[in-house]
Amino acid sequence: MRLDKMLANSGIGSRKEVKKLLKSGGVTVNGKMIKDAKLQVDPEKDLIHLFDEPVEYREFIYLMMNKPGGVVSATEDKRDETVVDLLDEAHKHFEPHPVGRLDKDTEGFLLLTNDGQLSHQLLSPKHHVPKTYFARIKGQVTEKDTEAFKNGVELEDGYKTKPGDLVILESGETSDIELTITEGKFHQVKRMFQAVDKEVIYLKRLSMGPLVLDEELELGEYRELTEEEIELVKGK
């Protein structure tokens, strides 16, 4: 692998920033200062240092974002800003993609990674990964709805959902709820409430599998998963 790629894959900076660092003479390979970006290195064997600090090669990146409204869950879009547009160059370099989709107006937990195997594991219908949402609903949500969701509701296209766990936090002219579902059909939460003649007016995802949205993250902010979170989500 080229030295500049290896350095960029260590989260040091973009390819351009890495070139500058190499030019400055800050990089050594096996103790020798190297300025040639094209030098072939083996991240498993060669000892690479940046200003005397060892450089750790990474293939995968795992980011937890508090998605804001108005941004689409895609890597690129002709019209709208995407969640990937919100990332720093050093993270974009890894080419992460969102794991599943949140609607443009939905906020909250979104995982971005370039680890295709993990994405597949989290999205595969076979694995029934639970996702919990907070929602504000127009109208009074009642125990009747909790019961209906427990049995699965029929969406407008005839699809019968798997059971959903509905917890009513507040019930009145508008109601606050938490809903946990194990599927990821298009607009699923909104359509489940439509099925019981109610409307979602605000939606935020709180968690996906064992990963819970970090409350410290402001809307639009993100952070890398911790080692513990990575192990948890991979089921190790």
Q: Which residues belong to the active site?
A: 103
Nearest distance in Å: CB 80, ligand URA = 14
Nearest distance in Å: CB 105, ligand URA = 8
Q: Which of 55, 72, 141, 203 binds ligand URA (CB under 6 A)?
A: 203
Please write down the long-range contacts of 156-161, taking CB distance under 8 Å and 24 or more positions apart. Answer: 156/191, 156/194, 156/195, 159/185, 161/185, 161/188, 161/192
Q: How far apart are CA 133 and CA 192, in angstroms?
A: 13
Q: Which of 9, 66, 106, 113 binds ligand URA (CB under 6 A)?
A: 106
CB-nearer residue toward ligand URA: 14 or 194: 194
CB-nearer residue toward ligand URA: 93 or 198: 198
Nearest distance in Å: CB 235, ligand URA = 23
Residue among 65, 67, 63 at smallest CA distance from 81: 67
Residue among 178, 76, 188 at smallest CA distance from 125: 188
Contact mark string toward ligand URA, 66..105, x via CB under 6 A:
------------------------------------xx--
Nearest distance in Å: CB 13, ligand URA = 33
CB-nearer residue toward ligand URA: 102 or 118: 102
CB-nearer residue toward ligand URA: 3 or 200: 200
DSSP state of 59: S
Nearest distance in Å: CB 102, ligand URA = 4
Dihedral over alpha carbons 170, 213, 188, 134 (to 10 degrees)? 10
Q: How far apart are CA 83 and CA 74, in angstroms?
A: 6
Element (H, E) at 223: strand 222-224
Pairing of strands 107-113, 165-170: unpaired
| Binding residue count for ligand URA, defined by CB under 6 A | 8
Site for ligand URA, residues 159 to 198, rule: CB under 6 A: 187-190
DSSP state of 154: B
CB-nearer residue toward ligand URA: 106 or 113: 106
Contacts of 153 (CB under 8 A, 6+ apart): 160, 161, 164, 192, 195, 196
Q: How far apart are CA 166 and CA 169, in angstroms?
A: 10
Site for ligand URA, residues 109 to 168, rule: CB under 6 A: none
Binding site for ligand URA (CB under 6 A): 102-103, 106, 187-190, 203
